[in-house]
Amino acid sequence: MKCKDFLNELNDFLDGSLDPKLKAELEDHLVWCHHCYVVCDTTKKTIQIYRENDVYELPDPIRERLQTAIMQKCKAKQKSE
């Protein structure tokens, strides 16, 4: 297996959706190829960091304002029907 092949399978490897034989081949590649090991490990961390840190949280006051506005418009629509 070459690094390019490893990279092509990286998504499925990280998502755990590979068949066991291919998975074993990738794991074997990781044992001796430090570059791919780092790419794999840091890609995993990249995903984790974005998952665990809510970059765009909706602050409560704005959330409430939006909810009120939306529900008012929905009610208006309901009446006009």
Tell me the closest approach of the beta carbon of residue 51 to Zn ion, in angstroms: 26
Tell me the closest approach of the beta carbon of residue 72 to another protein, in angstroms: 11
24 binds another protein (CB under 8 A): no
Find the binder of Zn ion among 23, 25, 33, 43 (CB under 5 A): 33
35 binds another protein (CB under 8 A): yes
The CA distances from residue 14 to 20, 27, 29, 46, in Å, are 13, 11, 15, 12
- What are the residue ranges of helices labelled H in the chain? 3-15, 20-32, 34-52, 60-80
